Amino acid sequence: MRIAILNKDRCQPRRCSHECEKYCPRVRTGYETIVFGDDGKAIISEELCVGCGICVNKCPFSAIMIIGLPEALDKPTHRYGQNGFALYGLPTPQVGKVTGILGPNGIGKSTSVQILSGALVPNFGEDIGDWDTVLEHYAGTGMYDYFKNVVDGKIKVSQKPQYVDMIPKAFNGKTRDLLEGTDERGVMDELVEKLDLGHIINRNIGELSGGELQRVAIAACAARDADFYFFDEISPYLDIYQRINSSKLIQDLAKDKAVLVVEHDLAILDMLSDVVQVAYGMPSGYGVITHPKGVRIAINQYLKGYLPEENVRVRPDAITFEVHPPRVATDIATLLDYNAFSKKYGDGFSLRSDSGSLKEGEVIGIVGPNGIGKSTFVKILAGEVEPDEGELESEVSISYKPQYIKVDSFMQVRQFLRSITRRFDTSYYEAEIIKPLQLEPLFDKMLNDLSGGELQRVAIAACLSKDADLYILDEPSAHLDVEQRSLATKAIKRFAENNGKTAMVVDHDIYMIDMLSERLIVFEGEPAVFGIAHPPSSMQKGMNKFLSDLGITFRRDEETIRPRVNKKDSRLDREQKAKGEYYYYKVDE
């Protein structure tokens, strides 16, 4: 079985010679396999298509996908018209449980929520969907009762959007006004305390940072009196402390409600979920949502790239972790020795940094809560901010990717990257930057039309494209799915190793820090009051210090060697805390 997908935004029939039709072998033998509709766009007959792939390769705008599907996928749950995206399967909301969804972006998660909320009627591949057909299709299953309640208007849905930076465009007012308007359960004061929103409660929404907006959005979603709650990515812009607090709040919410969470931070998904459903397929082409699986089983299968129950390989290579941190060789040249320094902003925040050194070709992770001085630290290293005490004499050139990416250019992605580096058209740049970051499909898009994840990948590429000695990337994982995080991690690490360049990565995703870093800089202190930057240390020493402040311990999974959060006060948690081994390298036998 195969489906044909046409990206109508890319299809430009007035700018091409209709290569898809001209070179199609079935058309040339007299079959109307490809025709052009009233809007001038191509229409591909899936019944007549033989799957040769010639049209895919000949289309000058890469607008066509011909996808071979497993035979078990007979009828889609919903399809957006002929040659449109197809969704197979649905998440299963379960009262009293948090259901996690693990999969790439563009795979149908938003479509699923629209269906579960009743805003979209599944059409099962037909032109129009109707609820009678839906109820007949799900008769005798657990989903029948759910959809019967949807039809009868007994299901109320509360949803947290993925891109919280859009909230100021939809709401103009103070944080208090937004939360009071959504507080249907009378829990606003409790949510404000749990999510530490007291200091911003009287500030305008337009003045809030990304992390503050994220916590306000979580609070607004949780405050509604709903039967089904959907949280689309809770981790972007939040530090690890805030992520854990948000996870605990959502778990409390799920005691008598059905909760669905899409999350790409695997440590948080592992800790938060009761069951996980894997979403796989081809972004913008089709998506398949599996039946619920145990959390450990689902994440391990996804990391390995193979789903045994479905007999489907979702990735050619497994995402792997190292048992031990990389060893730092003593003969590696030093890029920069920096002295201790300090910086104070009036009567407000102050930062103190111990002295340290950076080695050539290494990747250093930077961890700590938000508002602790990490951005100030890297700006002082970059020479953008002068310290109050301690001199930094350095001729090191720095390329910096900020946490919040603003677009003030109306250039195409191709033009933007070409304006930054002369290496754009070289085979090296294509192999080391373009392919790992999956940028080629974005080349003809305008920068201001990119989604959050697309803009993040372009920003990473732009940072690595500049000629510098030190590359600093602030939260490169934001809005990237698990696949993209893995690819971005490999691209950053390989770039540093192959070019003898030093990279510093500020991130709150423990998995990304674990895969990427050779050494660690840990920040401690009180957010918005003072921060202390410790010197670079080994991964084990640094993570032990960081996790001891958090009060959580990690063990290693037996199969994938990935870090897993121990349940608080469990046997392993107590044992590791007693030994001071918060970051556990020994694999259980």
**How far is Cα 561 from Cα 513, in angstroms, rounded to an integer?**
14
pLDDT for position 589? 37
pLDDT for position 585? 52
pLDDT for position 588? 44
Q: Cβ contacts of residue 264 below 8 Å, gap of 6+?
A: 233, 235, 477, 480, 481, 482, 485
pLDDT for position 72? 65
pLDDT for position 459? 94
CB 474 within 8 A of CB 403: yes
Position of tokens 């489907």? 312
**How far is Cα 137 from Cα 154, in angstroms, rounded to an integer?**
20
Domains of the chain, first to last: 2-68 (3.30.70.20), 86-156+226-313 (3.40.50.300), 334-550 (3.40.50.300), 551-588 (no CATH)
What digits encode the pLDDT tens for the residues 394-445?
778 889 898 778 777 788 999 999 999 988 888 889 999 999 898 988 898 8
Position of tokens 């759910």? 146
**How far is Cα 96 from Cα 275, in angstroms, rounded to an integer?**
11
pLDDT for position 3? 87
pLDDT for position 331? 63
pLDDT for position 32? 92
Instruction: Per-residue pLDDT tens, the chain, 589 aa: give them.
Output: 688 999 888 899 999 999 999 999 999 999 999 999 988 999 999 889 998 989 999 999 989 999 887 766 778 999 998 889 999 999 998 999 999 999 988 888 888 988 998 889 999 988 888 999 999 999 988 889 999 999 998 889 899 988 888 888 888 899 999 999 999 999 999 999 999 899 899 999 988 888 889 999 999 999 999 999 999 889 888 888 899 899 999 999 998 899 999 999 998 999 899 999 999 998 888 999 999 999 999 999 999 999 998 888 888 888 887 665 544 455 678 888 888 999 998 878 899 999 998 888 899 999 988 888 888 888 888 777 888 888 776 778 889 898 778 777 788 999 999 999 988 888 889 999 999 898 988 898 888 888 888 999 999 999 999 999 999 998 899 888 888 998 899 999 999 988 989 999 999 888 888 888 889 999 998 888 899 999 999 888 898 988 888 888 888 888 888 888 888 888 988 999 988 888 865 544 3
Phi, psi of 304 (to 5 degrees): -70, -25
CB 159 within 8 A of CB 232: yes
pLDDT for position 561? 84
pLDDT for position 330? 53
- What percent of the chain clears pLDDT 90, i.e. is strictly above it? 44
What digits encode the pLDDT tens for the residues 506-536?
998 888 888 888 899 999 988 888 999 999 9
H-assigned helices in 29-174: 54-58, 109-117, 131-137, 142-151, 167-170
Q: Which helix (H) or strand (E) holds 241?
A: helix 240-253
**How far is Cα 101 from Cα 107, in angstroms, rounded to an integer?**
11
Taking the model in full, what pTM does it have? Answer: 0.82
Largest CA distance in the chain: 80
Q: Cβ contacts of residue 90 below 8 Å, gap of 6+?
A: 77, 112, 115, 116, 122, 143, 289
What digits encode the pLDDT tens for the residues 236-286?
888 888 998 999 999 999 988 999 999 999 989 998 999 999 999 988 889
CB 65 within 8 A of CB 57: no
